[in-house]
Amino acid sequence: MRDAKERDVFEYALLRVVPRVERGEQINAGVVVYCQARSFVEARVHLDEARLLALDPAADVAGVRAALRAVEGVCAGGDRAGQAACDDAGRRFRWLIAPRSTVVQPGPVHTGLTLDPRGEPERLLDLLVR
């Protein structure tokens, strides 16, 4: 039985939008959080459209939003997760942090300790994205 005050290790990665790869400019647009002890993975996103368009007035805002929604869907599992639907939380997290897009990119993975893994996505979104 777990002690209610026992902290769990969690991992997280920022989701970055790089509208013009050749310029290297980016904005943080979300966070993916994984806690192995709780079999928990969740993404929270917040796209600041004005900041994105300041970096690239021709940015495909709808495409970026779709890519960010897809990350949320993979975390949620089930039908929204596509090929990852049957994968456990850890495999879905590892799949999401693997680079595959030039526009929406995961940042490096960081770790921490938490009493509330389910509260970390919103806390990190407020701290690092908004």
- Most confidently modeled range among 4-13, 45-54, 80-89: 45-54
Separation of alpha carbons 75 and 72, rounded Å: 5
What are the φ/ψ torsions at residue 53 (nearest 5 degrees)?
-70, -25
Residue bearing the bigger pLDDT, 44 or 95: 44
Q: Are 72 and 43 a contacting pair, CB within 8 Å?
A: yes
Q: Are 68 and 59 a contacting pair, CB within 8 Å?
A: no
Separation of alpha carbons 72 and 82, rounded Å: 12
pTM for the complete prediction? 0.88
Separation of alpha carbons 60 and 43, rounded Å: 21
Confidence of residue 5 (pLDDT cuts 50, 70, 90): confident
pLDDT tens, residue by residue, 53-110: 999 999 999 999 999 999 998 888 767 766 666 778 898 899 899 888 788 999 999 9
